[in-house]
Amino acid sequence: MTARDFDAIIVGSGPGGSTAADVLTAAGWSVVVFEKGRNHLIDTGDPTRLSTDFSNDEIKFMIRHFLGPDPLLEPRTFRREESDGDRTHVGEVNNVASTVGGGGPHADGKVPRFREDDFRMLSEWGPVEGASVADWPIGYEDLEPAYAEAERLIGVAGEAGANPFAAPRSGPYPMPPGPPMYGALITSDAAERHGWHPYPAPTAVNSVPYDDRPACNNCGFCAFFGCPIHAKGDPVASLRRALLTGRAELRPETFVSRIMVRDGRATGVEYRGPDGQARTETAGHVIVAAGGMETPRLLLLSGLEHPMIGRNLMFHLQTYVMGALPVRVHGHKGRSVTHVHDDFVVPDAASLAAAREAGLPWFKGGMVEHAGPAHPILEAKLAPWGPGHKDAMRRSQMREHLWGFCMQGEDLPQPSNRVDLDPSVRDVRGVPALRVTYRPHAHEQAASAYYGPMMEDCLRTAGAEWALTYAAPGAFDPVPMSRHVAGTARMGTDPAHSVCDPWGRLHDVPNVVVADSSLFPTGAGYGPTLTLVALAIRNMGALAPHRGG
């Protein structure tokens, strides 16, 4: 293909970029997808063949960075606030896989929708001091059709009506839920006794054969691992469809270092392929789907100057409540999470009173996952060495007995929480590393302090001999590791207060369109993936008629 053959360049092949490729190629566009990571997902010559590189291998995936990014090659830096100096940490900062498919193959794929009020936080709940709470420029009803389409395209298993807090749906899930884990049945029962409403987690994992891919066989190497049998649909389903049109080209091991902009229009990108040579490619549109942290890095590397780029960075404040159940829960059998509850997503009279006591107008928690750790090397490294080691491993307090909850606590956006370019740390290509400046707001800390003890009580109801609560990032390990990222190129109608317009286009360079969770004005107490895929479906669908630019 010659340079001008592409209607769009897509940066990043994760759930956002793959969805963009799918929607645009279906509308007749020709696209090239640049992905800095390697391809372990799909045969680009024959996209009906999915790769055989994934495996149940704790060393390869959990320790040796098989899916990247290798923190030595691509370090990120961190500080809590500017007064800390240039940085306090170099290495991993909330890394999500960097490979064809992005974080999709890596994740275990809990893909709930957001609720109606998540789109209008300012009008529904009101401002909070120190935070830039905002309404989304669109409502749940605008996104509902795209949510339904996203669930169908990537294949989501779930049970409509099982979650009383869910927003209305236009139809059922494409697949019934997969089998519940034993531990989750125990904590679900206890949660119900506490008056909560656990339900089968909507999951982008096949519970039955779907889309020419097999049903999950519960191998247990799920979150952080690629699926050896491709029972996970996100984003392999979209990428495969895009490649099968013959109008998508995928270029792995290709790092986009700059979007070229002239007179308020992007003309293409500068990139470095596997041979390390700098080259350029031109196209009518540039779709940026590099993920919530790399997207603002690329915009900054491109010299774009909107003062909001990189700001309002949101993760999730994760509250872990863990305890030892007397029975063996065998958390290594099954997917990573099969049950969740949403009771802490919705403020009630008691939580509002607790918020006022903490000096806040309100707070929200987040979706609570029922889960436990499952892998032996992880357990062994935390066990003592010496004579006690073998007994500890035989008793297996962690792998076999530890079970509990993880609340994905909603983070409020704060302009001071941000991604920018580190002044001196570089990646292997000599390009400035991204730097995170982040400290949680009192809002999420108060919510964690309020809901943590309730979850501890519930775990004791479930039979735990002991239970403890741990909120991350905390004082001792301030570096965020939630794997959920949002907010760094916020969308809105006012160009002074948002980077992108309501269709994901940069206000300043409208043929650059962002297609990931960087767009989110607020982060909700749910994983971002289904919502970013739905947004990409909506925004790319709107873009599709304007192929010429």
Partner 1 sequence: MAVWLTDGQYRIVQAVCARLIPTDQDPGATEAGVVDYIDGLLGAFSFDPPRIWAGGPFSGRTGGDGAFASFHRLGPLDELAWRTRIEGSRGLPEREWNGPVRGLQEIYAEGLDRLGADFADAGGDEQDRRLRADEEFTRQVYGHACEGMYGAPEYGGNRAGLGWAYIGFEGDVQPRGYSDEEVSGP
Stretch that binds partner 1, among 54-62, 149-157, 278-286, 313-321 (CB under 8 A): 54-62
Q: Does 262 bind partner 1 (CB under 8 A)?
A: no
Question: Residue 487 has which token pair?
Answer: 């907010």
508: region left, alpha or beta (phi > 0 left; psi from -120 to 50 alpha): alpha
Give me the least distance between CB of 482 and ligand FAD, in Å please.
Answer: 9
Nearer to ligand SF4, 232 or 490 (CB): 232
Q: Does 504 bind ligand FAD (CB under 6 A)?
A: no
Q: Does 427 bind ligand FAD (CB under 6 A)?
A: no
Nearer to ligand FAD, 467 or 515 (CB): 515
Distance CA 83, CA 464 (A): 42
Q: Does 223 bind partner 1 (CB under 8 A)?
A: no
Stretch that binds partner 1, among 66-74, 166-174, 487-495, 531-539 (CB under 8 A): 66-74
CA atoms within 13 A on the CB side of 157: 27
Q: Which residues pair with 33 in a beta bridge?
A: 10, 250
Q: Does 17 bind ligand FAD (CB under 6 A)?
A: yes
Q: Does 392 bind ligand SF4 (CB under 6 A)?
A: no
Binding string, residues 458-487; x marks residues near partner 1 by CB under 8 A = ------------------------------
Q: In this chain, which of 66, 173, 344, 520 binds partner 1, going by CB under 8 A?
A: 66
Q: Does 428 bind partner 1 (CB under 8 A)?
A: yes
The candidate with the shortest Cα–Cα distance to 188, out of 467, 459, 401, is: 459
Q: Does 54 bind partner 1 (CB under 8 A)?
A: yes
Q: Does 152 bind partner 1 (CB under 8 A)?
A: no
473 prior amide bond cis, ω within 30: yes
Main-chain dihedrals φ then ψ at residue 133, nearest 5 degrees: -60, 135
Binding string, residues 326-365; x marks residues near ligand SF4 by CB under 6 A = ---------x------------------------------
Question: Residue 296 has which token pair?
Answer: 């603002």
Nearer to partner 1, 273 or 502 (CB): 273
Distance CA 209, CA 313 (A): 38
Q: Does 236 bind ligand SF4 (CB under 6 A)?
A: no
Give me the least distance between CB of 52 and partner 1, in Å please.
Answer: 5
Question: Residue 60 has which token pair?
Answer: 């390869």
The candidate with the shortest Cα–Cα distance to 549, out of 511, 523, 519, 497, is: 511
Residue 507's CB is within 10 A of a number of other CB atoms, namely 17
Give me the least distance between CB of 87 and ligand FAD, in Å please.
Answer: 20
Nearer to ligand FAD, 47 or 102 (CB): 102
Q: Does 253 bind partner 1 (CB under 8 A)?
A: yes
Distance CA 268, CA 259 (A): 6
DSSP string, 161-176: TS-TTSPP-SS--SB-
Report the alpha-carbon angle 165-498-21, nearest 5.
75
Q: Does 346 bind partner 1 (CB under 8 A)?
A: no
Annotate 512-542 with b (16+ C-beta within 10 A) or e (fewer): bbbbbbbbbbbbbbbbbbbbbbbbbbbbbbe
Main-chain dihedrals φ then ψ at residue 3, nearest 5 degrees: -50, -45
Nearer to partner 1, 285 or 339 (CB): 339
Q: Does 231 bind ligand SF4 (CB under 6 A)?
A: yes
Nearer to ligand FAD, 222 or 398 (CB): 222
38: region left, alpha or beta (phi > 0 left; psi from -120 to 50 alpha): beta
Contact residues: ligand FAD, CB under 6 A: 11-17, 34-37, 96-99, 102-104, 106-111, 223-224, 255-256, 289-291, 294, 298, 483-484, 516-517, 527-529, 532
Residues that bind ligand SF4 (CB under 6 A): 205, 216-222, 225, 227, 229, 231-232, 335
